[in-house]
Chain A
Amino acid sequence: MSDVVIAGIGQTKVGEHWEISLRELAFNAIRDAVKDSGGLKPQALFIGNMLAPNLSNQAHLGTLIAEYAGLTGIEAMTFEAAGASGGAALRQGYLSIASGMVDAALVVGVEKFTDKVGPEVDAALATTSDTDFEAVQGVTPASQAALLMQRYMHEYQVPCNGFAGFALTAHANGTGNPWAMYRKAIKPETYAKAEMVNDPLNLFDIAPNADGAAALVLTRRELLPTGFAHALVKVSGSASATDTLALHDRKDILWFETAGLSANKAMKQAGIVLDQINFFEYHDMFSIYAALQLEAVGFAVKGQGWKLAADNEIALKGKIPCATMGGLKARGFAGGATGVYQAVEAATQLRNQAGTNQIVNAKYGLIQSLGGPASTAISHVFERVQA
C-alpha cells in the first residue's frame, strides 16, 4: 500500500466568530490547506461536523461547503460521530486515499456553536448521548463526565484538585498556539477557586465550546507536487472502535475500552509500540476523559492517569507530552472540527513548525478523537518520514 501523506494543513482561530458563518469558517480552513499543499486539486471533500442540523438548522454540508469553496462537482459528504466527527472524517479521507479510489482528498472539520446560546447548546450536546435513557433525565455530557469523575475520585481516593494538572498543562501550552482560544497560563489557585459546574467538575475541568474549522489535504506520496515545501508527515495508522452509547450500560464505566482498542490497532498498523510515541493529542473535553484515555491507551495504570498530570509528566518536557498546542481545554472545543485540529497540530509538531511548543525530534504522534464518553474512539498515528 502506498503511503498516505499530509500535503496541506489549515485552521481558523478557535473562538466566538459572531461575524463568520459556518460555510465561511469551513472555507477559510480549506483555502489555507489547499494553498499549503502547493495547490493540489481535491477530488473529494470529507466533512466532520457534529451538530449543524441542530445548532445552525443546516444539514447537507457536503454540497454547501463544496459549492462555497468553488469545488462544485466533487464528491462531498458529512461524517458524524459526535465529538469524534473530525476523526471520522479524517479516517474516511485516509481510507479513500489508501484505497486508490481518490488521489487528493480534503478533510474539513467545522462547527458553529455560537448561533445558539446556553441551554439550547446544552440540549443539542445532549442529543449525542442516549436520548431516551440519558438525555431525558436532564443529563448532559458535562454531567456524565461529573458522574465519571465522582466515582473515579471515590474509587481511587483522588485528593481535591487532583485533576488540576490537566488544565494547567493545557493552558501553559495554549500560550504558544496562535490559533488557540485561550493563550494565558493559569495558576493552581485559579483552578482551586474555579466555579463548580457539575460537582466535582469545575469550570477548568471542561473545555469551552467555540466556533472553528480545520482542514487537511491528503494524498499519496508519489502524487505530491514537485518541490513540496514541507517535512513529510505520513498517516501510519488509523483505527476506530465503538462501545455502548449509554455510559450506564458499560461493565466498567471507569475504563475507556475504545480508547485502548483503537490506539492499539493504529499503533500495530504503524508497526510501533507505546514507548515510541513522542506525544499524545488526547480528547480532553473534560479532564476526567484525559485521565481515562491515558489509562486505557497504556500510559498509566488504571486509577493513576491523574497522577501523570499532577506530576507534570504530560508537559512538553514530560514523559509523555499531551495537548501540545493547548488541547481542547485551551485551544477550544470546536465540536466536529476537533479531530481535524488535533491532526493539524500533530502535523505541525512533526513538520518541526510548533515554535515554542516544539517537541524535540518528534517522530510519532498519537491523536485520539472521542465521541461521547469514549462511546466512539478514533485513533491515528502520524509519522515523520524522509522526503
Chain B
Amino acid sequence: MEIPRHWRLKQQRYSLMGEVCPHCDHKIFPPRDVCPNCGREAKEAYAFSGKGEVYSYSTIYEAPSGYDANAPYTVAIVKLEEGPMITAQLTDLGDQAVEIGMPVEMVTRKMRNDGDERGLIVYGYKFRPRLSVQ
C-alpha cells in the first residue's frame, strides 16, 4: 500500500497539472522545480490540454505484477500539443490499429490495484483516439 504516494500525485494523475517556466515559457510535465530548458526556477502551475499524438507505441504481452490481469495492453509515448512527451497506456482502441502520428486525448482510467483485491485502486491518465479531430 502506498496511499500517500498516489495521493500526492493526484493533480498530475487526474488533470495533467504541470508547470510553465516564467523565464522561457517552456511547458513542463511532470512538474520539476528546475526548468529543463533554461535551468532556472520554475514553479508556476500549468494545466495541459490533454491533446497530443502518438510518437511511438508497443503492445505488452508479458506484464509486470499488478498489471498482468490487463495484458495484453498498448503503451505509447505521446507528444503533447504543448511540447512535452509523456508515457501512457492507450485505451478505448476497439479494432483501431495504432499508428505513429495518431491524434489522441487524455482520459481518466483505472491503472491498477495496489496490493490484493482489497487494496487501493490507482486511477490515472491514459490516452484514447481523439474523438473530435478538426
Contacts and interface: CB of A to CB of B under 8 A. Distances in A.
Partners in one complex: yes
A319 to B, nearest CB: 30
A47 to B, nearest CB: 26
Nearest to B65: A119
Contacts of B63: 119, 122, 138, 140
Contacts of A146: 58
Interface string A114-146: 000011101101100000111111111011001
B60 A133 contact: no
Interface residues of A, number: 36
B66 A247 contact: no
A150 interface: yes
A222 interface: no
Contacts of B62: 118-119, 122, 142, 197-198
Interface in B54-74: 55-68, 70, 73
A69 B57 CA distance: 47
Contact of A151 (B56, B84, B86, B87): B56
Interface in A176-217: 196-201
B78 to A, nearest CB: 8
B45 interface: no
B50 interface: no
Contact of A132 (B30, B55, B85, B100): B30
A99 B88 CA distance: 45
B65 A123 contact: yes
B103 interface: no
Nearest to B124: A136
Interface residues of B, number: 35
A51 B73 CA distance: 26
B61 A248 contact: no
B27 to A, nearest CB: 13
A253 interface: yes
A154 B55 CA distance: 10
A138 B64 contact: yes
Given A132-B30, A147-B56, A151-B55, A137 B85 contact: no
A133 B55 CA distance: 17
A377 interface: no
Contacts of B128: none
B36 interface: yes
A122 B64 CA distance: 5
A136 B58 contact: no
B112 A147 contact: no
Contacts of B58: 143, 146-147, 150, 198-201
A120 B57 CA distance: 23
B56 A150 contact: yes
B112 A138 contact: yes
- Majority SS of interface residues in chain A? helix
Contacts of A246: 87
B111 to A, nearest CB: 6
A199 B57 CA distance: 9
A200 B73 CA distance: 14
B122 A136 contact: yes
B75 interface: yes
A257 to B, nearest CB: 13
Contacts of A150: 56-58, 100
A133 B30 contact: yes
A275 interface: no
Contacts of A197: 61-62
Given A132-B30, A136-B124, A143-B75, A248 B85 contact: yes
Contact of B64 (A126, A132, A148): A126
Interface string B109-132: 001100000000010100000000
Contact of B56 (A148, A196, A249): A148
B75 A248 contact: no
A142 B88 CA distance: 15
A156 to B, nearest CB: 13
Nearest to B58: A146
B107 interface: no
A201 B65 CA distance: 20
B65 A247 contact: no
Q: Which 3 A-B pairs have the closest CB atoms?
A: A146-B58, A122-B64, A123-B64
11 contacts: A119-B64, A122-B65, A126-B64, A136-B111, A138-B63, A138-B89, A138-B112, A140-B60, A150-B57, A154-B100, A249-B36
Given A137-B89, A138-B64, 12 more contacts: A119-B67, A136-B122, A136-B124, A137-B111, A138-B67, A138-B73, A139-B87, A140-B63, A147-B77, A154-B100, A201-B58, A246-B87
Interface of B: 5, 9, 12, 30, 36, 55-68, 70, 73, 75-77, 84-89, 100, 111-112, 122, 124
